Structures are given as structure tokens and as C-alpha cells.
Amino acid sequence: MTTHRSVMPQEVLEYLRVLSNGTYIDCTLGGAGHTESILTCNGPKGRVLGIDASPDAIVQAQTRLKKYGKRAVLVQGNFRDVVSLATLHGFGQVDGVLYDLGLSMDLLRQSGRGFSFQENEPLDMRFDPKQDLMAMDIVNSWKEKDIADAIFQYGQDQASRRIAKAIVQARRKKRFETTFDLVNVIETILPRRGKFHPATQTFQALRIVVNDELGVLQSSLESLATLLHTGSRIVVITFHSLEDRIVKNVFRQWGKDGFATVLTKKVVPPTREEILANPPSRSAKLRAVEWK
């Protein structure tokens, strides 16, 4: 199994400006790499609240961060609820908030919930297995137009209408249950282009819809004000244009309204050295602000 590597670790610490004894929130705990980096810098009494929707992420992070004791507060939850979770666990105001919107593929591959088209698993895609909507619900019951619109909007796939039509035709014969059920249908109408798999964008779109990823990001960012004080910093790493657009617009509006100073006039990309050592980092974009 490969080991998930946190992207842009030095840039995160630089833009968060981690303080001794400072308090921070990692809204996307994942493999806990960023949380551990912060904990190494904000001692001896600094704390980090790590939030993740996946129970698997919490279990693995508890093992990784055990040596930090009560300084690491790990909570299963949705970062849409960051304010209530922070208040509940004694993080009234914090020195910084981090969102790394990249997915830990190690955790996702171990989940058994169908995030990867390379494994034949239930077509689930829920970060939190307690929520209701699953990917199989979308492909089995949504109207063809709604499926096409979702694939086009969230997967940015020009073949969205062809894919949606093929899905609707296929489900008349057999209900979609697994990832390979869906992959096989997509492969019948779209050829592979080099290393790029034709199901990539559809799987991205379904995952975004199932977990309301863009809505969660927007509402979470907009809720942060009560957790911030003068000098607090917010750092967000995105991996596709839909996420980055939300972050850019929210940060720009905060700047116009005088709530924050934008620290990154342009997105900060990973270094060439990091991309060579960790190819998944190539699409990462970092933005940061400081609260006034």
C-alpha cells in the first residue's frame, strides 16, 4: 500500500504562521500529516482540533497522534459544522484554520465504499457512512437530465449527456450496485485516452454530489468569523477549479469588506521538487488570508 503524503507541508506552516501554544483547526484531518506538523510547532501546550467525516480517518489518526496526548482533539464530523464542533470541544477562538481538500486515497481505498473505479466495491461514495444519499441512488433513480447536469457541472465532462443516456439505458436491464457496474457502462461508450480513465470525471462528480462538497466548503468558510481574532489565519488547499473558485471569491469578498487581508494575490503552487516526489500534488493550489 502506498502512503498518503500531505501536500505543501512547509507552505502550510508558513502561511498559518504556527505559534507556540497556539490553537488550530484542521478541518480535513485525513491522514493527519498536516495536524502532526502543526503539533510539532505549536508546543508545548498548543492544541489542534482535527475534523473528518470518515470514522476510518479518526481511528488511524488516533494511532498516529497518540504521542501528543490531549493536545490532539480528534472529532468525527462534517466541517460544515466547524463552529459548533469547535465550541463543543473548547476551541472558542483559534489562531488558524486549515482546509486541505485533497483526498487521502489510502483511506478511501480501505473504506470499501467505492471511491475508486479501480476496485469493485458497493457504489456508495459517502465520506460519512451514516448519511443517506449514496452514488447508487443517483445513477439508479435520478432523471437522465439531472445525471447529465451533475456530471457536466461537477465532473466537467463534455460527454456528460452520452454517459447519462447510457446509464439510464443500462439501469432498465440491471440495477447499478457496484463501481464496476458503472465503469463497464462508461467504457462501452468512451475509449481510454492514454493513462486517463473515462470514468474519472463521472466518479468525481458523483462523489462531490453525494457529499455536497462545494456547498459544505462555502458554508464552512462563511461561518468562520466567530472563531477568529485579529491575526488569525486561514489556509485552503484546493485541487480543482470548482473548489478554488469558491475560495477565491470568499477571500476576495472578505478583503473588499475589510474583514481580512489576502496573503496570496495569486494561488501558490507546489514546488517542482514536490511534484516530482509526490505527483498527486501537481494540481494543488494554496490560498491564505489573515483576519483583521
Q: Which domains does the chain have, with CATH numbers?
A: 9-106+218-291 (3.40.50.150), 111-213 (1.10.150.170)
Nearest to 91 by CA among 64, 66, 71: 71
Burial class (CB in 10 A: 0-12, 13-18, 19+), 22: buried
Bond into 279 cis (ω within 30)? no
Identify whether the C-beta of residue 212 lies closer than 8 Å to the C-beta of residue 274: no
- How is residue 252 written as a grid cell? 476576495
CA gap 237, 79 in Å, rounded: 15
The CA distance from 107 to 130, in Å, is 17
Paired strand residues for 166: none
3-state secondary structure of 260: strand
- The residue type found at 40 is T
Torsion of CA 235, 212, 89, 30, to 10 degrees: -60
Report CA 112 to chain centroid distance, whole Å: 18
Long-range contacts of 132-135 (CB under 8 A, 24+ apart): 133/209, 133/210, 134/210, 135/206, 135/207, 135/210
Structural contact between residues 227 and 82, judged by C-beta atoms closer than 8 angstroms: yes
| pLDDT, position 256 | 98
Cα–Cα separations (whole angstroms), residue 15 to 27, 28, 179, 233, 287: 16, 17, 39, 7, 9
Amino acid making up residue 36 = E
Residue 109 has what pLDDT? 72
What is the CA angle 108-208-168, rounded to 5? 105
> Nine-digit cell at 138?
443517483
pLDDT along the chain (292 residues), means of 10: 75 98 97 96 98 92 97 97 98 97 75 90 94 97 98 97 98 98 96 88 97 97 98 97 97 98 97 93 96 98
Q: Let me know: does 237 contact 99? Beta carbons within 8 Å.
A: yes
Question: How much is the pLDDT for 4?
Answer: 63
The pLDDT value recorded for residue 2 is: 44
Instruction: Compute the C-alpha angle 50/56/61, nearest 5°.
Output: 40
What pLDDT score does 108 carry? 67
Predicted pLDDT at 79: 97
In this predicted structure, what is the pLDDT of residue 1? 38
In this prediction, residue 173 carries a pLDDT of 97
**Which stretches within the chain are classed as H helix?**
9-16, 33-41, 55-64, 82-88, 105-111, 135-141, 144-155, 160-171, 179-189, 200-211, 213-222, 241-257, 272-277
Sheet containing strand 72-76, strands side by side: 72-76, 47-52, 23-26, 94-100, 228-238, 285-291, 260-262
Phi, psi of 237 (to 5 degrees): -110, 120
> What kind and span of H or E run contains 231?
strand 228-238
